Amino acid sequence: MTVAATTHRLHLKTNRTVDLTVDGQHVRVPEGSTIMKACQEVGIGTPTLCYEQTLTPVNACRVCVVEMEGSRALVPACARKVEPDMVIWTDSERVRHSRKLVLELLASSVDLSYAPDEVQGYLDHYDARPERFGPPDTSDGAVHRDHTQAGHHIPTTNGYAATVAQPPKIDNELYIRDYSRCILCYKCVEACGVDAQNTFAIAVAGRGFDAHISTEFAAPLPDSACVYCGNCIAVCPTGALIFKSEYDMRQAETWDEERQTETDTICPYCGVGCTLRLHVQDNRIVKVTSPMDHDVTNGNLCIKGRFGWQFVQNRARDTGVEESVGTS
Amino acid sequence: MDLRLIQNATPSAEERDAVDSLLGAPQTDWRGTPHEAPADAYFGAAGHESRGHRHLLLPALHAVRDATGFISPGGLNYICQSLDVPPADAYGVATFYALFQMAPVPPMIAHVCDDIACRMSGAREVFAELESRIGPAGKATPDGRATWHRSPCLGLCECAPAVLLQRAGTNQTDEVIAPADASAVLTRLTGDARKVEPNPQELNGSLHAPQTLDPECAKGLRLLKRAGRVDPESIDAYRASGGYEALRRAFDLGPDGVIREVLDSRLQGRGGAAFPTGRKLQDVARAPARPHYLICNADESEPGTFKDRILMENDPFALVEAMTIAGYAAGCEQGYIYLRGEYPLALARVRHAIDAARRRNFLGADIMGEGYHFDIDVRRGAGAYICGEETALFNSIEGFRGEPRNKPPFPTMVGLFGKPTMVNNVETLMNLPEILIQGGPAFASVGTEQSTGTKLFCVSGCVERPGVYELPFGVTLREVLDLAGGVRDGRPLQALLLGGAAGSFVTTEDLDVELTFEGTRAIGAALGSAVIMPFDDTIDMADIVLRIAAFFRDESCGQCVPCRVGTVRQEEALRRLSAGVPLGSVDQELALISELELVMRDASICGLGHTASIAVQSAISKLHLFDSKRAQ
Ligand SMILES: Cc1cc2nc3c(=O)[nH]c(=O)nc-3n(C[C@H](O)[C@H](O)[C@H](O)COP(=O)(O)O)c2cc1C
Ligand code: SF4
Ligand code: SF4
Ligand code: SF4
Ligand code: FES
Ligand code: FES
């Protein structure tokens, strides 16, 4: 991981190109490109879950796998670098099978109901039927997932399919961690660690199906090293990490993305000049992000930019002035 | 990065001593003294120097566990402070390993093997007795001093059923009881440990390698030539039996000469993948990046495998010499032995051999006056089969979770600490001295054209004389079985497991297969770690297959979806089948299992996922498991 992290960051500046074939089409891309990049060149999309342009690829989800001639196993398009004369197939029987199964395995064990439409699109496209593995076991296990012992499990014999179901962790006013929605993509860990925040408040703990994201000894966030930058929230692909504001509205069934607008502004707090994207519903800010492709932030913010907007609404309420948005 | 420690968690004196005795006394005040800093403080921790010591995380976790039995928040704090590792990160590492507990536990834990060989040899009786006398797994004895757990294969299958006693406290060492009967285990758990007789496992190495008992048989042995004959704790005895002649020869040949001999020997790796060792040596030797590292993979955790343990217990100096030869050829100054945490005797003997070799200038600076510098560090595993996968092993040594890395890049170019690394199995390395003494071509004259030399076979299960057997490649399955006295009690043979849990089941029809890499491949099986485990007609094969499925679920690192969830779904489907309550029809379940097999084989990151369904598939196709239920 560490080594991969550093080499990935040396963006290889080279004029050399590599020629390869993707689904029968010839492609030429710069040396050091990924197979996924080569696919893009010829307009072939790749489903991804654990890939994020701003993070070191962990290639753990395997939904992006493609067939590479000469390789016994499929290879992850998001991370595998192109090599001269590679012959890649992105829609072969084997590829479709693996993508479908990966999606079924995830959807049968994780609550994907807050995942973006894109993910539902993948499930439909590959005709994923997670119910094939039996009805989901949503009971709280005998041992909470935070306290399992590596190398031991209690097998389910009741015909249900094991899931990661567990109650959400609500331990602070800013954001909620609902790990029953976690696909273990490692993105939050990377964002909190070497790839952005360098705080290392969370890590993957446990092993196998019991692996999970955790603070030390599963301590509540306020007791952990977390500085509430929210950079983990920004990269979470399934809504396992969400703003408290969003969580509360979803609970009250008032969350409605159709009614939301996005307004970009600059953070008023310091001289860095991060772009804030305000997500507004019914004239109230419901969450704040920053564009992933923004060269100042790469999608990252600090606690002030991410969460320090309550005053906008509070002031409005206190003064009775009509609510304003994006003032700075 | 500022380190933020766990609040209100101070290390105990024992924990501090344990860490200090590993890392040396603290350099600065703040590490050694209980800190007065406010609970909420961020420490500007020990800085660059300690950050370079992250590879000591696993040994530090062992030190704390050995002292107190578990990793407390205070103990973890002290480790994190000393090594400048964030607590969440260290917690993630500690919880990866089965032998580390994160909450208080009794100072003695009996890990009772629940794996295939032991199940067939009395483990059930031990469980029944423990359950009735102490209570279910995890329950403490009334005095709170001991408890017991079920364990995957402990690598003692030839003396099944096996138990590992993991102890905590000063001057406590782990101990193995094998073969174990319930009363011996209970005496240790509930009685006065000092009164207990030493167990037979430690008495006589030759017990586990039956060929060594017969002088005729013993003559042909290469790898086992010293087992039971030469004192494994005496470097003089080792030298008197030809030890260090091969290293002398290596110095005479020079690194290129050594590589040439190994290439000529056509030696292939014994760790499962059968990769040509000479080519690996050559690749590492030629790699421009420096330094180069050598790793001996002694994590042996494949169920049914115990050959490396027997080599290390009986001929530890030969391993040290072999590593020195490999290190010399590949241009390494530092070697590591990554030794399975469940092997206390092998650990003690290997450590002793390294110390003795160092004292005699067979390790360290200017070895044998030849100007070559090389040393070996022993790293103890902590209960994770996956750490035997070479790239997971790198991460484990480096102080990260034992998650495999993607390949490419390959270890010969980017391995341990990102440097070119030679990783070899214990048995592979142990062939090197013989190759140098005899010469590569002579070595290659034994065995078959494609599989040269001799091979250690791990024979256990329903067999008359279980143990490790050394035979030239090309011997048939039937011949090995006959040599081991045939099926136990003369019962009919039902099936055999070949190659371990990652291997496959074969039937009586396959008994004449030549045991070579190519011969086993030809019948759709693999030699793997050379496990040969016969099952007699009384064994419930569904139970065995379920155990294998559960093993893979427990041992998956959890990194990639096909294996993390696939192994769970595979076990669930098999349980439904064996309980006779399939989802839909039996055929639908069998189809689902083969779909899972395909995604695990095609889309997993590493060999664990790739092989997690092989045994299951072979049981379905060759043993027609679950067919009878279909007929009902
Ligand atoms: C899940 C898994 C576990 C493994 N365990 C071991 C092991 O315990 N010992 C070993 O020598 N090789 C093991 N291997 C194989 C190693 O990755 C590697 O191929 C081997 O150590 C190379 O040594 P060799 O060339 O001498 O065979 C394992 C592989 C996998 C995928
Ligand atoms: S909010 Fe920031 S500091 Fe806290 S866990 Fe997420 S990324 Fe880490
Ligand atoms: S919480 Fe979200 S970002 Fe973190 S691993 Fe889970 S799904 Fe990925
Ligand atoms: S195949 Fe299994 S053990 Fe290997 S990386 Fe994937 S989850 Fe881990
Ligand atoms: S997107 Fe490539 S492995 Fe997850
Ligand atoms: S020691 Fe029990 S099966 Fe190997």
CB contact under 8 A, A74 and B602: yes
- From the list B88, B418, B605, the residue facing A214 with the nearest CB is B88
Beta bridge partners of B3: B43
Contact B399, B58 (CB under 8 A): yes
Q: With a CB-CB cutoff of 8 Å, which residues 379-408 of chain B face chain A?
A: 383-384, 395, 398, 400-401, 403, 405-406
CB contact under 8 A, A159 and B583: yes
**Cα–Cα dist B145/B105, whole Å:** 9
Ligand 3 neighbourhood includes A114 CB (under 6 angstroms): no
Cβ–Cβ contact B87 with A under 8 A:
yes
Q: What is the DSSP string of A41-54?
A: HTT-----SS--TT
Structural fold of domain A3-91: Ubiquitin-like (UB roll) (3.10.20)
Q: Do β-strands B467-472 and A25-30 pair in parallel, antiparallel, or remain unpaired?
A: unpaired
B87 to chain A: closest CA residue:
A216
C-alpha of residue B340 to centroid of ligand 4, in Å: 19
A106-143 tens-digit pLDDT: 999 999 999 999 999 999 999 999 999 999 998 877 67
Residue of B84, B113, B559, B561 to mutate, interface with A, max A Cβ within 10 Å = B561
Cβ within 8 Å of residue A256, ≥6 positions away:
A281
CB pairs under 8 A between A and B: 208
- In this predicted structure, the answer to whether residue A319 has a pLDDT above a threshold of 60 is no
CB contact under 8 A, B558 and A184: yes
Where do we find the tokens 């492709």? A293
B92 CB neighbours in chain A (<8 A) are 203-205, 214
Taking residues A148-157, report their average pLDDT: 88
Cβ within 8 Å of residue B15, ≥6 positions away:
B64, B67, B68, B72, B74, B75, B78
CB contact under 8 A, B598 and A94: yes
CATH (one of 3.40.50.300, 3.30.70.20, 3.90.180.10, 3.40.605.10) for A164-250: 3.30.70.20
- In this predicted structure, the answer to whether residue B44 has a pLDDT above a threshold of 70 is no
C-alpha of residue B275 to centroid of ligand 5, in Å: 29
pLDDT of res. B1: 60
Contact B174, B164 (CB under 8 A): yes
Q: How many CB atoms lie within 10 A of CB B26?
A: 17
Identify the residue whose C-alpha is closest to ligand 2 atom 6: A232
**Cα–Cα dist B272/B528, whole Å:** 4
pLDDT of res. B479: 98
Identify the residue whose C-alpha is closest to ligand 5 atom 3: A59
Least confident of A36-50, A260-274, B253-267, B555-569: A260-274
Q: Do β-strands A25-30 and A87-89 pair in parallel, antiparallel, or remain unpaired?
A: unpaired
pLDDT of res. A295: 85
Peptide bond into B161 cis (omega under 30): yes
- The set of protein residues with a Cβ atom below 6 angstroms from ligand 5 is A 48-51, 59-64, 76, 78
Contact A62, B610 (CB under 8 A): no
Least confident of A140-154, A191-205, B426-440, B575-589: A140-154
**Cα–Cα dist A243/A303, whole Å:** 12
Identify the burial level of B507 via C-beta atoms within 10 angstroms of its C-beta, where 0-12 means exposed, 13-18 middle and 19 or more buried.
middle
Cβ–Cβ contact B95 with A under 8 A:
yes
**Cα–Cα dist B362/B345, whole Å:** 22
CB contact under 8 A, B598 and A223: no
Residue B173 sits at φ, ψ, to 5 deg, of: -125, 155
A62 CB neighbours in chain B (<8 A) are 560-562, 603-605
Q: How many CB atoms lie within 10 A of CB A43?
A: 8
**Cα–Cα dist B378/A113, whole Å:** 48
B113-166 tens-digit pLDDT: 999 999 999 999 999 999 999 999 999 999 999 999 999 999 999 999 999 999
pLDDT of res. A155: 82
Q: Give the 3-state secondary structure of residue B252.
A: helix
What is the percent of chain A with per-residue pLDDT over 90, rounded to a whole number? Answer: 81
Q: Which ligand is nearest to the CA of A230?
A: 2
The ipTM of this complex is 0.93
Give the pair of three-digit tokens for residue A160. Answer: 């249900």
CB contact under 8 A, B603 and A62: yes
Taking residues B445-452, report their average pLDDT: 97
Contact B15, B67 (CB under 8 A): yes
* Architecture of the A256-328 domain: Single Sheet (2.20)
Which of B430, B431, B427, B488 lies closest to B458 in space, CA to CA? B427
A260-317 tens-digit pLDDT: 999 999 999 999 999 999 999 999 999 999 999 888 899 999 999 999 987 777 654 4
CB contact under 8 A, A214 and B384: no
B550-585 tens-digit pLDDT: 999 999 999 999 999 999 999 999 999 999 999 999
Q: Which atom of ligand 3 is nearest to the CA of A50?
A: 8
Give the pair of three-digit tokens for residue B546. Answer: 């379920």
Structural domains of chain B ordered from first start: 13-94 (no CATH), 108-204 (3.40.30.10), 235-444 (3.40.50.11540), 454-536 (3.10.20.600), 541-622 (1.20.1440.230)
Domain map of chain A by residue range? 3-91, 96-138, 164-250, 256-328
pLDDT of res. B52: 83
